[in-house]
Amino acid sequence: MLSRFLLEPLRDPSFRHALAAVLALALAAGPIGVFVMLRRMSLVGDAMSHAILPGVAIMFLIAGSNVYAMTLGGIIAGLVIALLAGAISRATALHEDASLAVFLLVSLAVGIVIVTLKGIDIEQLMTFLFGETAAKMNPERLLVIAANATITLLGLALIYRPLVLGCVDPSYLRSVSRTEGFAHLTFLALLVLNLISAFHALGTLLGMAIIIIPASIARFWTRDLTGMIAIAVATALLAGFAGVVLAYHAGIPSGPAVTLFAGVLYIGSVLLGRVDGLIWRAFPGRHLEA
């Protein structure tokens, strides 16, 4: 019965597209999420996930539901918002997170106004907010998500060393190398790409879930960076697969389904995780004595 429940959807081409899209997103979102967490940019990432909405909405107003047009609009909007927030924080006393919070609210309002002017129906609005159902994922969205995942992994390989050092000791990195600024801007660009992919797969409201929840889960199981990345990717893959299967059978959007499974895994990690898990903290093992 279980095998039939899991394997029967594979006969549907749209389900295979949805599954491949979420799994490709998970491969890139895992390591991106770990660095977002280590750099304490979780709320920044959430703000940027909403900041891409005006660009997507403008392209939707111009070109309709063209996947490539909406992707381009989201990338431009995300990069512009990130650069503006950074510039304002450096030119004034306002911190970058506060600038992004302001842009988040304004961008969300602008996006909603644009979408409303287009006369969007309730089904399209639900797709914008929570993503497509697993039965409606098309090859164009899959191609965009796969391309963004490939670019992300190559980009992370390029900036991995300064990115890691920037998480550990940014002052030292600035004293010995001029790559800190380049690595930060490249990382922001890669984050925007993954937010666009998450928007196509899971919607604008829940897209950040597959980026930050698996990374938070990994933190409860290991302190090793490589281990955290591996656990984050594995968790994202598991939540993505289980969520898409549930979405297919229940006829619900993929965004809430994937997020719910990731949330269950997070709760389990809070309780059982070997690093600061509640049960391990309540019943610590014996320490060696001299």
Condensed to tens digits (0 to 9), the pLDDT of residues 225-278 reads: 999 999 999 999 999 988 888 888 887 888 888 999 999 999 999 999 888 888
Q: Does the residue 132 lie in any domain?
A: yes
Q: Does the residue 30 lie in any domain?
A: yes
What is the per-residue pLDDT for 113?
Answer: 77
What is the per-residue pLDDT for 29?
Answer: 92
Q: What is the pLDDT of residues 166-216, one digit of tens each?
A: 887 777 777 777 777 788 888 888 998 998 888 888 877 778 889 999 999
User: Residue 193 belongs to a domain with what CATH number?
Assistant: 1.10.3470.10
* Dist CA 144 CA 195 (whole Å): 12
Residue 133, SS3 per DSSP: strand
Q: Does the residue 259 lie in any domain?
A: yes
DSSP label at 253?
B
Q: Does the residue 288 lie in any domain?
A: no
- In this prediction, residues 39-66 reach a mean pLDDT of 77
Phi, psi of 40 (to 5 degrees): 55, 50
Task: Judge contact between 37 and 215, C-beta under 8 A.
Answer: yes
Cα angle 15, 19, 24 (rounded to 5 degrees) comes to 150
Total count of residues recorded for the chain:
290
- In this prediction, residues 91-104 reach a mean pLDDT of 67
Structural domain for 128, as ranges: 2-279
- In this prediction, residues 108-121 reach a mean pLDDT of 70
Q: Does the residue 168 lie in any domain?
A: yes
What is the per-residue pLDDT for 22?
Answer: 87
Q: What is the pLDDT of residues 124-150, one digit of tens each?
A: 666 666 566 555 677 888 899 999 999
Question: Total structural domains in the chain?
Answer: 1
Q: Is the pLDDT of residue 10 over 80?
A: no
Q: Does the residue 285 lie in any domain?
A: no
* Dist CA 259 CA 208 (whole Å): 9
Q: Does the residue 49 lie in any domain?
A: yes
What's the pTM?
A: 0.84
Top pLDDT among 91 and 41 is at 41
Q: Does the residue 287 lie in any domain?
A: no
Count of Cβ atoms closer than 10 Å to residue 116 Cβ: 11
Top pLDDT among 135 and 65 is at 65
Least confident of 19-23, 25-29, 144-148: 19-23
